Amino acid sequence: MASAIAGDSETVSDIRDQSMGSEPDPTASACRKTVLPNGLRVLTEHIEHVDSVSLGLWIAGGAREDPAQVPGTTHFLEHMFFKGTEARSALQIAEDIDDIGGQVNGYTDREAVHLHARTVADQLEPALQLLFELVLRPLCAEEDVDRERGVVLQELAQLADAPEDLVHELVPQTAWPEHPLGRPLMGTPESVQHIDRSSLLAYLSELRRADRIIVAAAGRVEHDRVVELAAVNGGQLESGHAGPKVEAPRFHPGERLLAQNGAQVHFCLVTPGFARTDDSRYAFSLFDTILGGGTSSRLFQEIRENRGLTYGIGSYSQPYREAGLFVIDAGTAPDNLYIVLDLVEKELERLRAEVPAQQELERAKTQLRVALALAAESTSFRMQHLAVSEMFWGRHVSFEETAAGVEAVTAEDVHSLAKGAFTEDRRALIAIGPFRDEGRPK
């Protein structure tokens, strides 16, 4: 690509443009990537049969890069993106979102901040312009910061009153208390009190770097047009560093029991999982599906269906760049907590002792293959997949590659993984419920 792009007198003669994936993958053939001279990455997937488009700005960083003494800074900043910019008031932002007739929102996780929009193709330009403006030019007025502090404190109070949600937030904090990934995502009431306009703008200046930002779009989009708009809106961003390099977290086994009145105990049983790019992710996905991934899973059948001890029980993975966690979660009556935990242990022992039957493995593979196919029908999922692939692999990971990775897993692979999971030195229990002082349920 060797043409000039209008806007800010920016030329792109040195832009690197490439297709992502390789033939004969028809999905990847529609995917393209362009890197602007300043390092801003633009990824698109053209989907001919839809009229909509999903857009996203992905900023590498997330809660893991919060100042150590002020967790919750990234989450607070994401709130401020929608409270006014240098050119638009909060009301104008809301009206402009409605003007494009779509949806605009954002969220913070431990490794990135995301702003995304979903609309129709002819609203691409105003939607992408709005996303850039929200990220690059938030006003962060002092009175808005003070007002939003109250909103975030209410959000924290709401989380504290919802043990079924709070227990999941405590998982990384408990397993990795010494690591940036273990910091509370929304901060604490104390840390939120220390966030002010100057600290937010100083932190934003570190995040607002071209090589930290990915522009992703999927749907009825033309790649060159998205590149042009990205260059106009973000072509003058300076490059910076990609964030600090950190060691993998050390897993802390043990128990964390929080006393809270209620009719149930909500718990998470945690063991080390897989990093984002770890080859074991495919075996873990099948281990997850067999153990607690659906209504035919071992935990659901034994503890919910055969025993009636929970309404729901399942498992899931939390992967990050350096490491990950694998979680079994459920809610049960206080008197049943240790009965349920004993039954979970018996199911784990069965997986450690016996190789899963081939029929069970094939059923799990079908579940994953169908789930991937259904998700791939969403432009939002495809947009997110573009960004996540680029952020962690630096390339497009096609759906076919993922399906092939799952298909290659053997029953022996799952058995080998199960033998090392949830052993005594590789498990942590987090539970919230009506505990006595000595830690047993009332």
Q: Pull the structure tokens for residue 291.
A: 């153990």
Contact 5, 11 (CB under 8 A): yes
- Residue 268: partners with Cβ closer than 8 Å, 6 or more residues away: 167, 168, 170, 171, 327, 328, 329, 429, 430, 431
Active site residue 78: yes
Q: From the candidates 10, 45, 65, 78, give the one annotated as an active-site residue.
A: 78
End-to-end CA distance of the chain: 69
∠ Cα 12 57 143 (to 5°): 120
Interhelix angle for 124-136 vs 90-99, to 10°? 160
26 HSE (CA, 13 A, CB side)? 2
Return the structure tokens found at 425: 């030195």
Pairing between strand 265-272 and 103-108? unpaired
Q: Mind telling me the catalytic residues?
A: 78
